[in-house]
DNA sequence: ATGTGCTTCAAACGTATGTTTCAAACAGAC
DNA sequence: GTCTGTTTGAAACATACGTTTGAAGCACAT
């Protein structure tokens, strides 16, 4: 019943509410009442709302980035000098995410949704924090992607990485809602692992698509750009 | 200098600020001072901030959905009974977006960013508004997608559509920030048309990827699911 | 038991928000 | 010119926010 209890309760509540409603739309009063702690506790333990946001990210991103580093190490050993393939790189990433110890069954989906929000909501402080805190595993992943797709120009690769990020963050972040739809419409149940198994081939195929042409296909009558 | 001037000035300012900063992060005072109109004008002309948001979307989405309907009509005529290909369908969509008459050079990027935000920010009222206002062109697009990918199972197709939506919404919703990075890192400038031209082949390739396998590639040692 | 350092608590702070009010300004019809 | 309905304007409204305050509570070493 020491400090840690309050701190963790705040982090749990904040994580869930941020993922559900976004950062600006979640007030400290919502967080503290969900966490059943006093309003002032946030500023006492974290200093400010922005610092709380950083702490929420740090709590899952720090262990994840450690797991990822180890997984990349193993992968490179296994490949024995040769650059890993795109499929291998993507699988290592998803497996690291999926295999992270979760606080509850919603863990992965919250994790993904928060990452998506971080990218999407233009919270300057957050982007700066993430960039300077986790630049290493990020750039290592980028390097692996680069080596796995030597046929792509830097610009093409850059945009396709954004497309991958988008498909992943978006899908995982709304996977709860999407699974509901799927259950109702198609009567199927899907685990996060199965979604990942569908996602990786999609991403790999997109990454390895023929070089983008800058005009529409010949059948189209309307010229573009 | 009639009413319409004030209304349009508000819509212009709101559109730009919403796209830049999101909905909750944009106050009516920011909007009215950018539009150089009185604060009360928003509530007088629109009724509420939420109604203003709806009006902003309606102003570009209504003509867009009309353009899209016509483009789909043309496409189906051109195809003469045969279902349009996936590439054709996707191109018709992007071309309709790109060719919309723009209010200024930032038009398309604002348009896309707003759509991305609409999907991403969980503003309940907005999603409800869009769903009941523009359900027709949306389900028509879905039908075309279905006919263009008969080889996919309903579940596979469902998920891959989510992946497409995600890649698109995510990329477009952060495209300004991404373009900044690109400009700084690679010294390249990119138009929305070019992004779309890169996105479509990525999406098409992903949609047509080999059927998803539900286990990772053999090289991987770590079992999944 | 007493004092000490950390933690909790209720209350208040100042600021910003969306919205309302009501008088003034305006345009067009008579 | 006067009346009428619409639009603007400055000011205030109530509410919600993040943050600060200072007293009370607590565990624990002395």
**Residues in chain B closer than 8 A to A87 (CB atoms):** 217
Asked whether the predicted pLDDT for residue A2 surpasses 50, the reply is no
Whether the beta carbon of A50 falls within 7 A of nucleic chain D: the reply is yes
Q: How far is the CA of A107 from the C1' of D15 (A)?
A: 35
CA nearest to A218 within chain B: B88
- Among partner residues A85, A160, A162, which is closest to B178 by beta-carbon distance? A162
CA–CA separation, B108 and B169 (whole Å): 13
Q: Quick one: pLDDT at residue B121?
A: 74
Q: Quick one: pLDDT at residue B223?
A: 42
Q: Quick one: pLDDT at residue B220?
A: 44
Q: How far is the CA of A47 from the C1' of D20 (A)?
A: 11
Residue nearest to nucleotide C27 (CA to C1'): B2
Q: How far is the CA of B57 from the C1' of D7 (A)?
A: 24
Nucleotides of C under 7 A from a protein CB: 6-12, 16-22, 27
**pLDDT band, residue A172 (cuts 50/70/90):** confident
Contact A155 B186 (CB under 8 A): yes
Q: Quick one: pLDDT at residue A4?
A: 60
For B67-79, write each residue's pLDDT tens digit.
Answer: 999 999 999 999 9
Whether the beta carbon of B47 falls within 7 A of nucleic chain D: the reply is no
CA nearest to B202 within chain A: A206
Whether the beta carbon of A29 falls within 7 A of nucleic chain D: the reply is yes
- Among partner residues A87, A198, A204, which is closest to B156 by beta-carbon distance? A198
**Residues in chain A closer than 8 A to B166 (CB atoms):** 166-171
**pLDDT band, residue B120 (cuts 50/70/90):** confident
Q: What is the mean pLDDT of residues B165-188?
A: 73
Q: Quick one: pLDDT at residue B172?
A: 79
**Residues in chain A closer than 8 A to B49 (CB atoms):** none
A184 Cβ under 8 Å from any chain B Cβ: no
Asked whether the predicted pLDDT for residue A223 surpasses 80, the reply is no
A131 Cβ under 8 Å from any chain B Cβ: no
A214 Cβ under 8 Å from any chain B Cβ: yes
Q: What is the mean pLDDT of residues A11-26?
A: 92
Q: Quick one: pLDDT at residue A122?
A: 66
For B24-52, write each residue's pLDDT tens digit.
Answer: 999 999 999 999 999 999 999 999 999 99
**Residues in chain B closer than 8 A to A192 (CB atoms):** none
Share of chain B above pLDDT 90, in %: 49
**pLDDT band, residue A225 (cuts 50/70/90):** very low
Q: What is the mean pLDDT of residues A89-105?
A: 83
| DSSP character string of A94-132 | HHHHHHSPPSSTTHHHHHHHHHHHHHHS--HHHHHHHHH
Asked whether the predicted pLDDT for residue B1 surpasses 50, the reply is no
**pLDDT band, residue A90 (cuts 50/70/90):** very high
Asked whether the predicted pLDDT for residue A180 surpasses 90, the reply is no
Q: Quick one: pLDDT at residue A221?
A: 44
Q: What is the pTM of this model?
A: 0.83
For B188-217, write each residue's pLDDT tens digit.
Answer: 767 777 888 899 999 999 999 986 555 554
Share of chain B above pLDDT 70, in %: 83
Q: Quick one: pLDDT at residue A15?
A: 94
**pLDDT band, residue B177 (cuts 50/70/90):** low
* 3-class DSSP string for chain B: CCHHHHHHHHHHHHHHHHHHHCCCCCCHHHHHHHHCCCCHHHHHHCCCHHHHHHHHHHHHHHHHHHHHHHHHHHHHHHHCCCCCCHHHHHHHHHHHHHHCCCCCCCHHHHHHHHHHHHHHCCCHHHHHHHHHHCHHHHHHHHHHHHHHCCCCCHHHHHHHHHHHHHHHHHHHHCHHHHHHHHHHHHCCCCCHHHHHHHHHHHHHHHHCCCCCCCCCCCCCCCCCC
Contact A95 B191 (CB under 8 A): no
Phi/psi-derived region of residue A48, left when phi > 0, alpha when psi is between -120 and 50, beta in every other case: beta
Residue A148 distance to chain B (closest CA, Å)? 15
Q: What is the mean pLDDT of residues A132-161?
A: 91
Whether the beta carbon of A42 falls within 7 A of nucleic chain D: the reply is yes
Task: Look at B20 and A52; give whichever has higher pLDDT.
Answer: A52
Contact A194 B202 (CB under 8 A): no
Select, from the ranges A128-132, B63-67, B181-185, the one with the highest average predicted confidence (pLDDT).
B63-67
Q: Quick one: pLDDT at residue B176?
A: 63
B174 Cβ under 8 Å from any chain A Cβ: yes
**Residues in chain B closer than 8 A to A153 (CB atoms):** none
Residue nearest to nucleotide C8 (CA to C1'): A38
Q: Quick one: pLDDT at residue A215?
A: 52
Asked whether the predicted pLDDT for residue A196 surpasses 80, the reply is yes
Q: Quick one: pLDDT at residue B37?
A: 95
What token pair was written down for B53?
Answer: 């948001």
**CA end-to-end span of chain A, whole Å?**
64
Computed over every residue of chain B, the mean pLDDT equals 84
Q: Quick one: pLDDT at residue A222?
A: 44
**pLDDT band, residue A137 (cuts 50/70/90):** very high
Whether the beta carbon of B38 falls within 7 A of nucleic chain D: the reply is yes
Task: Look at A177 and A124; give whichever has higher pLDDT.
Answer: A124
Asked whether the predicted pLDDT for residue A63 surpasses 60, the reply is yes
- Sorted by sequence, the CB contacts under 8 Å of residue B72 that are 6+ apart come out as B92, B137, B140, B141, B144
Q: How far is the CA of A153 from the C1' of D29 (A)?
A: 67
Whether the beta carbon of B165 falls within 7 A of nucleic chain D: the reply is no
Computed over every residue of chain A, the mean pLDDT equals 84
**pLDDT band, residue B103 (cuts 50/70/90):** confident
Identify the residue among A49, A162, A181, A190 best suited for mutation to test binding to B, counting B beta carbons within 10 A and taking the highest. A162
Q: Quick one: pLDDT at residue A213?
A: 56
Q: Quick one: pLDDT at residue B178?
A: 60
Comparing A69-73, A113-117, B155-159, the range with the smallest average pLDDT is A113-117
**pLDDT band, residue B102 (cuts 50/70/90):** confident
């Amino acid at each position: 019943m020491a400090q840690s209890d309050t701190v963790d309760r705040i982090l749990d509540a904040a994580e869930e509410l941020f993922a559900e409603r976004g950062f600006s739309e979640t007030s400290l009063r919502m967080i503290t009442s969900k966490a059943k702690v006093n309003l002032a506790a946030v500023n006492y333990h974290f200093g400010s709302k922005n610092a709380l946001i950083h702490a929420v990210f740090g709590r899952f991103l720090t262990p994840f980035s450690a797991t990822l580093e180890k997984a990349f190490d193993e992968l490179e050993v296994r490949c024995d000098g040769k650059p890993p393939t795109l499929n291998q790189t993507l699988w290592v990433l998803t497996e690291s995410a999926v295999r992270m110890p979760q606080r509850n069954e919603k863990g992965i989906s919250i994790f993904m949704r928060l990452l998506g929000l971080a990218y999407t909501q233009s919270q300057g402080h957050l982007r700066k924090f993430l960039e300077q805190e986790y630049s290493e595993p990020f750039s290592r992943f980028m390097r692996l992607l680069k080596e796995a797709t030597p046929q792509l120009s830097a610009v093409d690769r850059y945009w396709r990485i954004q497309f991958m990020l988008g498909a992943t963050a978006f899908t995982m972040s709304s996977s709860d809602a999407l699974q509901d739809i799927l259950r109702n419409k198609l009567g199927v149940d899907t685990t996060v692992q199965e979604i990942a198994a569908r996602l990786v081939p999609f991403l790999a195929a997109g990454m390895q698509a023929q070089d983008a042409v800058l005009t529409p296909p010949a059948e189209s009558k309307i010229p573009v750009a």
